[in-house]
Structure formats: structure tokens, C-alpha cells
Chains A and B, each alone.
Chain A
Amino acid sequence: MADLVCEDMSMTFTNPQTGDAVEALKDINFTLKKGELLSVLGPSGCGKTTLLNMIAGFINPTAGVATLGGNTINGPGVERGMVFQQGALFEWLPVSKNVDYGLRMKKTPPAESKKLVEKWLDIVGLQGFGDTPTYQLSGGMQQRVALARCLVNDPDVILMDEPLGALDALTREKMQSLVLELWKETGKTILIITHSVEEALLLGERLFVMAPRPGRIHKEYNLPFAERGLNESLRDIKQDSHFAEVREEILTMIWNMEEEIMGRV
């Protein structure tokens, strides 16, 4: 089984000039089973991006290891796809060339990759946009391209760092449905970082609330909303009383953390 396991992962950044150390993360332990959808929430600066970067292999933890399917993560790899908040598309390439980038790097035969690109553009709702330059797309469309570019490579885990953060509310809701749809259809393990409590509740089958200084997992939830979101309208779920209850609880929790940070400063 291609489970994602984090064992005692810590990350301390040292400022090379002053020698000051920042404990961005301390003793992170969790296991994400294949096909699980995890959303991570927390106040700004609690180490969410750092966690994701370590799993993606962009930075190495100062202690502990992460493994995927038993293999220690050591550097980036195709089995872990990344979707960034924005600006990670190759603006010099048209949409289709962005999407088939990974395939071209693997030297996939053009006929095959053409089929794959068409399939994924279709799934993310961008059929016919293959030749459009990416800088002519709206923010929502650009994130769809980023999703397609990641998925066409068929990764085991999809890592998303605030993928919908730069979108307006309406587009955001549509994209949230899209993420849920993709999750259902592909059965991929997804780890999504967000600033929005609602989004975390809607998209998280599991949900970590992280706390800062040192960055750690403060509380974990198992939630039914993602499963329900596959069939129900997201707006209805948000009206649900259980949803509102958990939302308020988490909001208070994060609010308190922020207060604490302010107080300490």
C-alpha cells in the first residue's frame, strides 16, 4: 500500500547571519492512507508550507523521515504531484504544452500524450483551450491547468499549497467541487493546505489543525462532509448545523492561537 507516513519530522531553520533558530515544525507524526483526503489548517506561520515542502522533497527535515509506500522521501519525484497557489505555470508554453510537460520529460510518444492531454483538459473543463497561452487564462482556469498538469503524470499523492487561495468566492466553490470530483474519480491521496476553515471542512476527510511555535499538529478531526460533498450541493452542507458547530469550534481555536501569538509578541 502506498501510504504516506511521517515519523518524528522536525524542521529548524537557522538564520545563517544571526544564528537564530526557528523551530518551524517539531515532531510531526501521522499516516495518510492511500486515497485519503487530508486538509491542513492553521494560523499563518505555523509550518504548513514547510510540511508540504518536506513531503514534496524540496527541503530535507532536520530530524525524522517521511516515507511513501515504504520508500524514504529524498528529493522531489513524479509520484508526488504539486499544485501551487499561483505563478507556477510555464507562461511561455500554451496550455497543452504545460499539461504534457511531465510526459515530454518522460519522452512519452506524442500520440499517447496527446490523448492524455485531451482527456485531462476535458476532465478539468478546459476542452478547446489547448493552444491558448496561459497568460490569457483567468485565475481559475490557470489553477485547472495546474491540476491537469499534475494529474496527467499520474502521481500517488497530490500536494496542494493553498491552490484556491487566489480565487474569488464563486470560482472557488466550483474548484472545490472539482477537487472532490477528482478525488472520487482518481482515488488519489490528496493533501491540501488552506487558509479557509470552510474549505478545510468541505474538502477534508481528515483535518489537521496546526499550532505554531513550534509548529505541531494541535488537533485532528475525521469529518463526513467531503464524502457528502460528492453527492450533495456544497452550499447545502454549509447550512448544516453540525458543519456550523465544527466551524465555530475550529475558528475559536485558531483565534485563540493568534491571540496567543500576538500576546507573546
Chain B
Amino acid sequence: MFEFLSDNRASIAAVIILALLAAFVVSLVTGRKRDAATANREVFGDPERTKGGWYWAVCGVSALMLIWFYFSWGVGRAYVPSAANELCQVAKLEEAVSPIKAALPIGSRYYKSTLLVSRNADQLEILRANVPASAFSSDEQTELVSLIDQIGQLIVNSSDPKNLDPALDGQLSALSADLDSLSEKLRAGPGGLQPTEEALAQPKWGTEHTEIPVLPMTPKGMLFDNVSVEAKEVADRFLKIRNHIPANDALIAEIKERIATLQGNSESGGFDEVALAEREAYIKSVERIFKRLDDGTIFPAASLESVNTAVENLDEANGEARGSLRIVEALLLPGPGVVKSRTQCTEQGSARWLPKPTDVVATFMQLANPDLENGGGYRGVTLLWWKWLPVAEVVGFLFPDWIADAWPGEYASHDSDGTISPKFKDKLLAFAQGEVSLGYIPWFEGHIWDSMFRVLMALSLGILLGVPLGLLMGISKFFKSFFDPIIELYRPVPPLAWAPLILTIFGIQDDGKIFLLFMVAFAIMVISARTGAVGTQLSKIRAAHSLGSTDAQILRNVILPNALPEILTGIRIAVGVCWGTLVAAEMLAGTTGVGFIENIARTVSDYELIWVTILIMGLLGLMLDMIMRWVIDKTIPWRGKG
């Protein structure tokens, strides 16, 4: 079932997108109609105006989903599932031609030769103007200037088309002709080309970890693939072509000799260390430029013109051969398109970091699958599932060992015959260590549960300790003044600043994280309970006094219920903050939890997984908040009505 859904996600997305479009349009129309009908019912600014309006929620959510589908290329994949594969073949051609383009104005504004000429001439100019007078004798200085001029002559010779070797000219023309024949091929269209069996057997776009199938799956793709193979050969040939001209040969030999002479002068001595270093550095830089000019990479601009034209022609043919694909790319695949790099084709632009909604769901389903043997869960832990939990473990957790230690008497020791007869104290210890069998209960497990458990534990502890302290601080000078500075000092520190300390002290297991979250929840609960307690109307407290309550009864029956709205709001805030802190804490350390998954996903740049965790966190946070809102509505209907 899941396999089927997963394989056909493009078609499923096509249906969903239509449904979303319909929902968007219908809700928009309904919304406009209904709002127009009720426009005069309440005046502007009346909060009643905000009541209702589910259709705007539908409108907003469907718009968001459509935007998501569009920018993740989900729409493109749904309606033109072959686009990415064809674009991948086009990208192959681009990749193949790119070395030629890089040397020509079509790819980089200037001829590569032009850039070389300008850069080397500039550097020679600088060297010529800065001959170090302290390191060279005046004879040598003249010699250097003339040497530099001679090196400059190399550039001049290479740039002149008249000096061009006729054989080289022939090579370049053949290259242009080959490129033109490739253009012809593209223009002729795929003809009878058919994709191979192997190509057709590839997984579909996005169903595997390699996003886009690399082998061509359509005739058009085949055409581009074939052309790209040939283009690669042409490009390799182009890279090997050198402009070695006979006119330079004598010059090069002479320059080499003159440099050698200068180097010989340095070695013959008479220079102090500083001067020697300066001479060597200068001669080396002259030599470096010479070597660059020596290897024949400068061509006369005119000689490359034909190649440039041929590449332009190829680009044109490329566009024509792409045909409708160009429109698809422009309309449905926003961003810089598909790029081929080494062994795979990748989506660029928004689609790179924004996975398609259907892919996110598929990844989620895979994570949610509790069958760990068959690729479910994440890193050997399910997302959210259940297991049989030994009751003894829970008891052992709640029943500390020291109770057994404190029990009067001694632990049993082995008798003279080598047997051990356990006493009651030993049995107590076994109990405290969870080593007795008390049966099993079904219990949750998995990454989500681990995260929830940490939040819930911390929250419960925070409420149990924070609320009483907050109430006391609201009514007692001692408690207020004693605890206020402590809490106010630690509260503003961002919880993550504590994290390294706390994880060191408590370890990376649950204790540390729970304590970190407890600190967050505790401060919030103290402050909200205190605010609630302080807000109790004096007349209520006085009435309670006159009705014969003791102080404790007033705290329990008047101040606590009166603070309840603030306390519940505090819990709601604490849930949100704890959730946020938890994910960050799980990113620091640990091996389970939603934040842990996100952390791993981050290090391997698995954007689908990142979005899955983001959505899990968002939805769980939303769910907790909805629960809290419901609890608030149910438990304090009197709020704001006292």
C-alpha cells in the first residue's frame, strides 16, 4: 500500500493540487460572499467581527500549501513528471560544453586569452617600474628592463593572427565544424531514438535518495544525452590545443638563458643576505610570468571567433531542441533549474531546500513505520510506538536505593556452606533496583515520546514546586524577598546558556534535559502563580477571614483558585518555551528525541528530514497548545468575570 502510494506520489500530488486549487477558490468566493453579507452587523473594531470565518482558514491553508507545492517543484513534478530527467540531460550537455564556454566571451564576457594578455601585461608593467636598485647593479637593471620587454614581445607575437601555425588554424576550424554538426543533430530532433531498458527501470523522480534519474528516459533526453557525449570529446580536444608559434621559439631560448645568467650572478656572491633574498624574489616573479606565457595558452582573438560562433549556434540549437521544456522550466520549476554535478543531477533554487509536500509525507511515513527491521523508525528507534514496560522498572525508579540501605539490619553475607539466604533488607534492595518481576504494562516509546516525556516531566516538576512557591511569594514577605533575587537572577539567562553546565553535571541522559527544562518551567510557574496570588481582591480574602477560614484554608480555597487563570496561562507559556528549549537541548547531546533527528538531518543536509522534524515539532506544539486552551476553557469559565 505504502509502496504504491510512494511510487505514484506525482499522480497523487496532481490530484491534491487540483483539490487545493478548488478549496482555495471556493473558500475565497464563500468568504467574500459571507463577509459582504455580514459587513454591517458589527462596527469596525468590535471583537465580535473576528468570530467564525473557517473559510478564511481554509483559504489560508490551501494558499500556503499551493505555494509550497509550487516552489518545491511539486506542481512541476505532478504534471510534467519527465521534466527533471530531460533537464538533467540538458544539464549534461551544459556540463560538457562548459570548458569551451569558459574560454570564450559567450561563457565569461572576455576571451580567456584577452584576460591572460591583460593580466600578464599589467604584471610585467609593474615589475618593470619596480626594479629594486639596492639589489641589482645599474648594468643589471638595464638588462632586467630589456628582458622584461622581451618577455612582453612573447605576448605580442602570440596575439598576432599572422603568426598562427596553419595546422592550429585547421584544428580550430575542425572543432567549429564538429560543434556545428552537433547543433545540426539537435535541430534534427530525436528521430527514432529510444531510451534503454536500464534507463526505464530507474526509480522515479524523487522516490529514492538520488533525486533525479540520471539516464535519459525519453527520446528527447536520449538526443541530449548522445549529443553531450560527443560534446565532451570536442571539449577535451579543445582543451588540449596550444598556440606554439615558431616566431617565439628563438625568443624563449634567449629569455631562458638571460634568466639563467642573472641567477648565476646572484650565486657568484658579493651580496648580503637581504639583497640576495630580494634578487631571488624579483627574478622568480619575472620567471613566473615568463613560464605562463611560454605554454601557448594565448590565442589571437580572431582565431577563436569561429569557435565562439559555433558555441552560440549550439546554444540556439539547444533552446530549439528543448522546445516545450523551456516553458515548463520557466513556469513550473522556479529557480536556476537542474544542474549536473559529477554523478548526479540536482534541483537548484527553492526546490533544493524545500522538499515537495508529498516527499515530506513519505519521509514521515517511513519514520513513523514502527517496523525497525524494514527501514522504519530512525537510528533504531521508532518515532512513536508502544512497548511492554516492566512495572518493576517504574517502581525501581520511584523507590530509591537508599531506603533499602536505611532499613535497619545488615545485608546478607554468604554462609559457611557457601549458600546465601537473603534477608528482608536484600529483598527490599532488589525491589528498589527493579530486579523483581511485577508484570508489564503497555507504555509509549520512540523519539516523539522521549521528547514529550522530557517536557511533561519537567513541566510537572515545575508546576508541583513552582506553584506553591509562587503562591507563598505572593503572600509572604519572607518568601518574596528571599527567593525573588535568586529566581530573577537565573531566569533571564537563556536556558541554552546553562545547557553545557547542566549536561556536564547531570549527564546527557534524560536527567540533564529534564532539569534544564525544569528550570525554565519553574521560573515561569513561580512568576505566574505569584502574579495570580498578588491579584487576589482584598475583599475576597477579608470575606474568607470573616467566614472563619484559617490561613492555610485561605491559601487553598481563595488564593489558589483566584490565581488559577494566571497559573494555567503560565503552564501554556511554559509548554511552549519548554518545547522550544527541549529541541535545542536535544541538539546538543543525546541519542533520541525529535531534536536529535533534526540535528543529524542538519549535519547531512537532509532537507526532507529537516522539514519532517520541523513539522512534527510545529504540530506537536500546536496540539499541546490546543489541549491547554481546552483545559483553560473548561476549568476557568469564570475568567474575567469576577
Contact = CB atoms under 8 A, between A and B. Distances in A.
Contact of B542 (A82, A93, A105): A82
A17 to B, nearest CB: 18
A82 B543 contact: yes
B547 A90 contact: no
Interface in B258-295: none
Contacts of A80: 546
Interface in B528-573: 537, 539-540, 542-550, 553, 557-558, 561-562, 564
A84 B642 contact: no
A92 B537 contact: no
Contacts of B414: none
Interface in B593-618: none
Nearest to B562: A92
Contacts of A56: 542, 546
A88 B539 contact: yes
Contacts of A135: 638, 641-642
Contacts of B547: 78, 81, 101-102, 105, 149-150, 153
A105 to B, nearest CB: 5
Interface string B623-642: 00000000000001110011
Interface in A50-65: 56-58
Interface residues of A, number: 30
Contacts of B543: 82, 84, 88, 146, 149
A87 B546 contact: no
Contact of B548 (A78, A89, A133): A78
Contacts, number: 73
Contact of A88 (B540, B636, B641): B540
Of the candidates B537, B544, B546, the one having the most CB atoms from chain A within 10 angstroms of its own CB is: B546
Nearest to A102: B547
Interface in A12-43: none
A259 interface: no
B561 A90 contact: yes
Contacts of A82: 542-543, 546
Of the candidates B540, B548, B553, the one having the most CB atoms from chain A within 10 angstroms of its own CB is: B548
Nearest to B545: A76
Chain B binding surface, main DSSP class: helix
Given A56-B546, A78-B548, A102-B547, A90 B540 contact: yes
A91 interface: yes
B236 to A, nearest CB: 85
Nearest to B637: A133
A96 to B, nearest CB: 15
A88 B537 contact: yes
Contacts of B637: 133
A207 to B, nearest CB: 24
A150 B231 CA distance: 100
Nearest to B543: A88
Contacts of B561: 90, 92-93
A149 B549 CA distance: 13
B638 A87 contact: no
A93 B637 CA distance: 11
A56 to B, nearest CB: 6
Contacts of B636: 92
A87 B542 contact: no
A106 interface: yes
A91 B539 CA distance: 13
A84 B564 contact: no
Interface in B473-516: none
Interface string B43-80: 00000000000000000000000000000000000000
Contacts of B539: 84, 87-88
A155 B547 CA distance: 9
Given A101-B557, A105-B553, A91 B638 contact: yes
Nearest to B553: A105
Contacts of B545: 57-58, 75-76
A92 B245 CA distance: 101
A128 interface: no
13 contacts: A56-B546, A75-B545, A78-B547, A82-B543, A88-B542, A91-B638, A102-B547, A105-B548, A105-B550, A105-B557, A106-B548, A134-B638, A150-B546
Interface of B: 537, 539-540, 542-550, 553, 557-558, 561-562, 564, 636-638, 641-642
Given A78-B546, A81-B547, A88-B537, 17 more contacts: A56-B546, A75-B545, A76-B545, A76-B546, A80-B546, A82-B542, A84-B539, A88-B539, A90-B561, A91-B641, A92-B562, A101-B547, A102-B547, A105-B548, A105-B553, A149-B543, A153-B547
Lowest 7 A-B CB distances belong to which pairs?
A76-B545, A102-B547, A78-B548, A135-B641, A88-B539, A82-B546, A91-B638
